[in-house]
Amino acid sequence: MQASEVSRAVAAAMSTASSLDLTVDDAIVLHDSNRLTLRLLPCDVLAQVAPVAHQVAQFEVELAQRLAESGCPVAALEPRVEPRVYERDGFVVTLWTYYEPVSRREVSPADYAKALERLHAGMRKLDVPTPHFTDRVEQAQRLVADRDHTPALADADRELLGDTLRSLRRAIGERGGAEQLLHGEPHPGNVLTTKDGLLFVDLETCCRGPVEFDLAHAPDEVGDHYPGVDQDLLRECRILTLAMVTTWRWDRGDQLPDGRRLGTEGLGRIRAALDHQGLDSYR
């Protein structure tokens, strides 16, 4: 979120919670990206705040409710208030349960895979309109092609990203495998370790596609414990998601700290992965 918006976003979250009879004296910023994640105290509520144009909030609230009702491992909405999207001062605010982190021990790949399998099982039961994963690939392709938005990307690197995105999007689609509702980005940053086990957060990225697309965002070892994985498809999805993430880092508007260094590293990892897999046809 733009620095100029942060103080207004914090104020919007605090005033929203106060208007709902939650006691709020302070707000701690937990994460700042396209939206702001806050811990409100002393009521101990987690607030997600985004510009009002961020219309995915309503979808996320409704999906979280349905998944929780199905027993899926997802973070719950704050039970003391009505589960809906609140608007204030040009922002949308959603209120969620705050989970106190448990021990910082590393999550085992087997537990990670089991939790993701449970999430996917619940998602298969839902029929909700969502983007296809290729829609997100197409967004990355447009960004690569837009020199005004990626001015620092060298021609050779632009060609590498463009070819990789285009070829892998086609190759994965041509496999014709089973598809379903996915989390979209179940990487470790979107997994909470709580006393109730592993819980997935940030459902705004949900899309449809093969489960291997979700697994591509998890640590590599997780795929070894998830049943029925197409390992060839998973390898392709890993390179595809790496190309997408690398593309975001070259967006001139990217606000991720140290993003340019990560973008440079991403280009090197893509080249190494293509060489290792012998995927010359993707360049």
| Residue ending a domain, choose from 97, 123, 156 | 97
Assess if residue 199 is contained within a domain: yes
| Residue ending a domain, choose from 67, 97, 127 | 97
Q: What is the spatial distance between Cα 22 and Cα 31, in angstroms, rounded to a whole number?
A: 22
Q: Are residues 9 and 117 in the same domain?
A: no
Q: Are residues 26 and 84 in the same domain?
A: yes
Domains in the chain, number = 2
For 93, the 3-state DSSP assignment is strand
Going through the chain in order, the beta strands assigned E by DSSP cover 24-32, 36-42, 45-51, 86-88, 91-97, 180-182, 191-194, 197-200, 207-209
Amino acid type, 76: A
Q: Are residues 131 and 241 in the same domain?
A: yes
Q: Are residues 271 and 230 in the same domain?
A: yes
**Are 48 and 96 a contacting pair, CB within 8 Å?**
yes
Q: What is the pLDDT of residue 176?
A: 85
Amino acid type, 244: M
Assess if residue 128 is contained within a domain: yes
Give pTM, 2 decimals: 0.91
Q: What is the pLDDT of residue 55?
A: 66
Task: Specify the CATH number for the domain of residue 44.
Answer: 3.30.200.20
Q: What is the pLDDT of residue 278?
A: 61
Q: What is the pLDDT of residue 54?
A: 66
Q: What is the pLDDT of residue 20?
A: 97
178's CB contacts (< 8 A; 6+ apart) are 210, 211
Task: Specify the CATH number for the domain of residue 139.
Answer: 3.90.1200.10
The tokens of 64 are what? 């979280």
Assess if residue 104 is contained within a domain: no
* Domain assignment of residue 223, given as a range: 109-277
Q: Are residues 17 and 152 in the same domain?
A: no
Q: Are residues 227 and 250 in the same domain?
A: yes
Q: What is the pLDDT of residue 158?
A: 97
Assess if residue 283 is contained within a domain: no
Assess if residue 133 is contained within a domain: yes
Residues of the chain with pLDDT under 70: 54-55, 104, 277-283
Q: What is the pLDDT of residue 101?
A: 84
93's CB contacts (< 8 A; 6+ apart) are 12, 13, 16, 47, 48, 49, 85, 86, 87
Q: What is the pLDDT of residue 29?
A: 95
Q: Are residues 77 and 153 in the same domain?
A: no
Q: What is the pLDDT of residue 277?
A: 66
Q: What is the spatial distance between Cα 168 and Cα 281, in angstroms, rounded to a whole number?
A: 10
